[in-house]
Amino acid sequence: MAQQMTREESVRRKQQSINSVITVILSIVCVIWMYPILLIVFNSLKVESAISTNRIFEMPIGNAFNGFQNFIYGVTKMDFMSSFWYSLFITVSSVALIILCCSMCAWYISRVTSKFSSAVYYLCVFSMVVPFQMVMFTLSKTADTLKLNTPYNICVIYLGFGAGLAVFMFTGFMKSMPLEIEEAAMIDGCSPLQIFFRIVMPITKPTTISTAILETMWVWNDYLLPTLVLDIKKYRTIPMDIQYFRGSYGSVQMGPMMACIVITIIPVIVLYLVCQKHIIEGVVAGAVKG
């Protein structure tokens, strides 16, 4: 008995040592990943001369500290708030349209067994592997022809590119949902729309939240698609506006640019931290079940 307890204690200590090593390694990786963000935050509080020299890696103290002047300049002088609201509107409208249309499409695919539904599903999945560069020139011309080149209807284009991931995740989750719940609601007199919005959507909450966050991070940070489609003289999203922090002779205003980058990443980080557990649940449910 004593020998068995000694063996168990040895195994437990060995496991604790392995866990400690893994914790240290992951902590180092976390610091490495966080370092670029901290570097941007520090330099957003510095004067321009401290950033343009080799003092870029120093803390914002002493003569290098500029307070919040870079933030004030970036927001007021560069019309940053206008770009912020354009990005916000495009992101909210695009993600809402993706969630609504793709969840309905996934419900149809998971409940109707036919060659047509299978073809739609595989086309959506196949769209995820098609590089954007293959279609961007044709897309730009098509957007101009169909008048999809404003922030108010570019959400239709984002729906096309975001449908692959969303349909894949929703379909995987809905295939695992018991059909008896919907049949019971139908017997009680619910219409298909009532079943979808009152029964199906509440059950798919983890997948809905995780899909919405992933699509939000993509649309919010996207630079290439708005640049190709929108008229840059009238409409600029945040990634587009950051490219215009340039002075004379091609010089870049690093302080205000980094200040605006900090403002840009704060909403996404907060959203991710608040809903991170739903991301794991939704991805696992959508990719493994079914």
Do 197 and 124 share a structural domain?
yes
Question: Are both 60 and 85 inside the same structural domain?
Answer: no
Same domain for 128 and 260, yes or no, is yes
Is 65 strand, coil or helix? strand
Question: Is residue 56 domain-shared with residue 92, that is, in the same domain?
Answer: no
Low-confidence ranges of the chain (pLDDT < 50): 286-290
Specify whether 173 is located in the same domain as 60. Answer: no
Domain count of the fold of the chain:
2
Torsion of CA 63, 67, 72, 77, to 10 degrees: 10
d(CA 223, CA 236): 10
**137 lies in the same domain as 252:** yes
User: Which residue, of 18, 39, 64, is where some domain finishes?
Assistant: 64
pLDDT attached to residue 233 = 80
Q: In this structure, are 24 and 143 located in the same domain? A: no
Is 240 a domain residue?
Answer: yes
SS3 260: helix
pLDDT of residue 3: 56
What is the amino acid identity at position 195?
Answer: I
Is residue 18 a part of any domain in this protein?
yes
Q: Quote the pLDDT of residue 97.
A: 94
Residue range(s) defining the domain that contains residue 264: 77-288
The pLDDT value given to residue 107: 92
pLDDT digits 0-9 by tens, 142-170? 888 888 888 899 999 999 888 888 999 89
Q: Is residue 70 part of a domain?
A: no
3-state class (DSSP) for residue 46: strand
Cβ(203)–Cβ(106) below 8 Å = no
Last residue of a domain, one of 64, 90, 111: 64
Query: Degrees (nearest 5) of the Cα angle 108, 114, 120?
Result: 60
* Same domain flag for 121 and 21: no
CATH number at residue 154: 1.10.3720.10
Q: Using the 3D structure, point to which of 10, 31, 64 is the last residue of a domain.
A: 64
* Domain shared by 81 and 215, yes or no: yes
pLDDT of residue 250: 57
DSSP 165-186: HHHHHHHHHHTTS-HHHHHHHH
- Does one domain contain both 27 and 88? no
Q: Is residue 82 part of a domain?
A: yes
């610091």: which residue's tokens? 31
Whether residues 240 and 193 share a domain: the answer is yes
Whether 71 is in a domain gets the answer no
9 and 96 inside one domain: no
Does residue 72 sit within a domain?
no
The pTM of the full predicted model, rounded to 2 decimals, is 0.80
Whole-number pLDDT of residue 101: 93
